[in-house]
Structure 1
Amino acid sequence: MTETAQAVRAAGRGCPECGEPVAEGGRYVTWCAACDWNVDPEVRDEESPGRIERLRRRLAREYGEQLLADLTDPVAGGGADAHAPRPSPRGAAGWWAAVLASTIHGITVALFAGGLWLLVAYWGVGALPVLGGLSIGLAVVLRPRFGRLPKDDGRRVLLRRADAPRLYALLDEVAGAVGTSGVRAVVIDADVNASVSTYGLRQHRVLHIGLGLWETLSPQERIALLGHEFGHYAHGDTRHSLLVGGAFQSLDTWRYTLAPEPAHSLTEHFVNLVTALPRLLVDGLLVVLEHLTLRGSQRAEYLADSTAARTAGAEAAAGLMDRLLIGGSIAGELRREAVAARTRIGGAARREDPAQGLWERLAAHAASVPDHEYERLRRVAERRGHQVDSTHPPTHLRRRRLSRGTLGGAQIVLDAARAAEVDAELDGARRNVARELVRG
């Protein structure tokens, strides 16, 4: 039985496993950098993932390791990767994924056309029109979605080009450096995340900026974040396409529709039995589509990291990876601030407006995380296989690749004056989102 971290901290002794000196962790975990004693003391209470999610995570780890070995060129500083031709989103796997996705959408079209035919040709003939109506309804449920522009509801603030011209000028510059087009709208919220997605039939782009992440980044790390997100469109990630992305959406809807229900009667048992075979077929289609697209999607993530490194510098891109590692801590600090404000413990008791200075306090919290805690989190990430989600390569592999690159100059440098101008345009959104966050 090894000694606890509290005992080692109190006694000021070395590591109970190897005897090496152990740095005082303060409010963070006390651990040994020499042998990894106590590096991961937390007990995780996570819900067990389903079959498809387990498959995604396993493939993400396997492909992440393979692709890291394949993509050995420097990621910045004028290396070979910096001038590599833009990869095609196709290839054998990409074409087969497109064929399978087209087949899935074809089933939706067949359901609609067949239902319409039954409804028109057999109107008034038994139950056939009813079956046709059900078929049309199912096709409507399974139809590809084009996405909608989020509403400006306080928790989310929508900024158009006229609202933030300097921000949009920066976005246009980053998108141009990456080799793609900019966005039609920007949505600001409190998430510890950021993304570029599409909406509408014409697939206009919208940038989501989560202030929980944005406010903890340095100006250059913000450029790296934007370079990464625009990089997905520059490198042609098939899972971001309407065809393949819509097919995943349809299959997920099928799985939800066919999911077995708790059976309390003979009828419910019969329904679960009847839907078992279609459910297995849908799972099989999802597995095949995952195999066809996940490797290409992970390659696109690595290439988007390369884009971030070339745009902002590899050091800034690696710093962004570190911020992703403390995302849970940042989200926890936001929750603590919100609870303190609502219960008037500390937050509202000290300040007339608990939303005032929220983002500054969050940035200070992120900046206070010591280097030894980042190193611990990197090692924990390697043990657990930390990922942003199951479609991303493990975070520690992404950072390892960035750290192997030559730390060359950045294409875009966001100086203090320009960063202040962009912040000034975001000030109103920052206040509104902070106010709604503390109100709950």
Structure 2
Amino acid sequence: MTVDETPPWCGSCEWNLDAFAPDGGSWFGRRMLRLDRRAGFRADRVLAGLDEKAVGRRVTAGHVVLLAVSLVLGAGVLATAAAGIWLIVTGRLLPPIAAGAALLALAWVLRPRLGSRKEAVAGGWVLDAGHAPALVALVARTAERIGAPMPDVLVVNTEFNASAAVVGWKRTRVLRLGLPVILALTEQQLVAVIGHELGHLAHEDGLRRLLEQPARTVFGALSRIVAPPRGSAEDRGLAGPLPLLFATWQVVGGLVSFVLFSAHVGMFLLAAGQDRRAEVRADLMSVRAAGSRAAMEALDVLVLLPGLTDLLHPRVPAGEAARRWRDLLADVQQRRAGLLPVLRQLSIREDASLLADHPPAGRRRQWVAARAYLDPAVVVTPVEAERLRAELAPLAEQMVQLMRRD
């Protein structure tokens, strides 16, 4: 198989599918990108070969390492804050008070982020049973059938995406569904997407990421803090001994920053591996909710997504946005259906990366296709589908107005 001028590959054995030819950039950059893609390809292939029991295992060696590092770093941040408070309280002179304030500022920068409800719902429409009874009922029925918790907040936004998050001190569960994604899916495929996102809530992936957060973020933040400024002493008009001090700062600070950034990359690679495993684990919940067929069809929509995101436009008659957009998205998908076998494998090549937090859509579909076929636990009837479409049509009109203002 081949597409345009991409390296050819074997569709059955995946020979040469890991060949990636980046264009542009330096030799070193192209080399690093190629190594990352090939390593990511191998990691994704291993992940696709795991069974349900292995994928469902939430305690892994990588998770344990991230937790241990987070525990140490979290204790260090608390100690930094405590030292800063002690210096401010006990200090009688400006230097110790200033040092205490600096330590408190550092602890504040390194603190864990819990997120907020306000941020989670920004740019979207918060829906409840009064505004969207059919959609809320579908989410509730899906949650009940797969044993997942019901989201506290349901948001429909304008993004070509869907996600679930747990935010704030109260740990509010938020389910976000992008209206463009909803319009690109059939109602049964929508159940698959809802089941996938609820799977993240059922497996407490938000809590896992929160516990791992210090390991994911602290080294990177420290690397940015200690990184010296670029440029030369001459550019800054320094004279006397200052140029030597500035050069020393650049060498020492740059080395420390590099070491910290290397640790950050290492933690990020571990964390991304855990996130990719979590995505496949959530796909299993998608299959249980919508059935194998709808789950695979929803993943095929992800394969086609790069060609769908620019199709929605505001040049539609009043009251016709939802129907026109849905027909347009369905028509493009139908015309490209014959290319799906090639595009699935092309996504396996182009989206492979050790730094990616999602496996390629083609690889995820491969994993689902290898499992035993399951019938759907939630079936959307034609009457329910019409109700869903009627509820979402006004949101499409509001989205048109937003697009026209932009």
Q: Residue 359 of structure 1 aligns with which residue?
A: 325
Q: Identity of counterpart residues, as a percentage?
A: 25
Give the deviation of 1:186 after TM superposition: 1.9
Give the deviation of 1:131 after TM superposition: 1.5
What letter matches 1:215 in structure 2? L
Q: Does 1:421 align with 2:390?
A: no
Cα distance per residue 1:383-423 (max 9 Å; x no partner): 32457980122322211122223333111111221122233
Give the deviation of 1:220 after TM superposition: 1.1
Inter-partner Cα distance in structure 1 for 2:32 and 2:217: 14
Indicate conservation of the 8 Å contact 1:115/1:133, yes or no: yes
Q: Residue 289 of structure 1 aligns with which residue?
A: 267
Cα distance per residue 1:216-236 (max 9 Å; x no partner): 011111111111111123234
What letter matches 1:279 in structure 2? S
Q: Residue 70 of structure 1 aligns with which residue?
A: 50
Q: Residue 239 of structure 2 aligns with which residue?
A: none
Indicate conservation of the 8 Å contact 1:224/1:311, yes or no: yes
Structure 1 unpaired stretches of 5+: 6-17, 19-31, 72-80, 342-346
Q: Secondary structure at the match of 1:212?
A: helix
- Cα distance 1:294–1:171, how it changes in 2: closer, same or farther (>3 A)? same
Indicate conservation of the 8 Å contact 2:148/2:198, yes or no: yes
Matches within 5 A, 1:141-290: 141-150=109-118, 155-237=123-205, 240-259=208-227, 261-265=229-233, 266=243, 269-290=247-268
Q: Residue 25 of structure 1 aligns with which residue?
A: none
Worse-superposed segment, 170-179 or 144-153 = 144-153
Q: Does 1:94 align with 2:63?
A: yes
- Cα distance 1:368–1:44, how it changes in 2: closer, same or farther (>3 A)? farther
Q: Residue 368 of structure 2 aligns with which residue?
A: 402
Matches within 5 A, 1:326-337: 326-334=304-312, 337=313
Indicate conservation of the 8 Å contact 2:62/2:270, yes or no: yes
Indicate conservation of the 8 Å contact 1:358/1:434, yes or no: no
What letter matches 1:108 in structure 2? V
Indicate conservation of the 8 Å contact 1:378/1:396, yes or no: yes
Inter-partner Cα distance in structure 1 for 2:61 and 2:184: 41
What letter matches 1:231 in structure 2? G
Inter-partner Cα distance in structure 2 for 1:196 and 1:164: 19
Worse-superposed segment, 408-417 or 233-242 = 233-242
Structure 2 unpaired stretches of 5+: 234-242
For normalisation by structure 2, the TM-score amounts to: 0.80
Alpha-carbon RMSD across the aligned residues, in angstroms, is 4.0
Q: Secondary structure at the match of 1:98?
A: helix
Q: Residue 22 of structure 1 aligns with which residue?
A: none
Inter-partner Cα distance in structure 2 for 1:284 and 1:153: 34
Inter-partner Cα distance in structure 2 for 1:426 and 1:227: 19
Q: Which structure has more helix as a fraction of its residues? A: 2
- Cα distance 1:154–1:248, how it changes in 2: closer, same or farther (>3 A)? closer
For normalisation by structure 1, the TM-score amounts to: 0.75
- Cα distance 1:131–1:189, how it changes in 2: closer, same or farther (>3 A)? same
Q: Residue 117 of structure 1 aligns with which residue?
A: 86
How many aligned positions are there?
A: 386
Q: Does 1:105 align with 2:96?
A: no
Give the deviation of 1:151 after TM superposition: 6.3
Inter-partner Cα distance in structure 2 for 1:390 and 1:147: 22
Give the deviation of 1:66 after TM superposition: 1.4
Q: Residue 304 of structure 1 aligns with which residue?
A: 282
Indicate conservation of the 8 Å contact 2:134/2:388, yes or no: yes
Indicate conservation of the 8 Å contact 1:236/1:300, yes or no: no
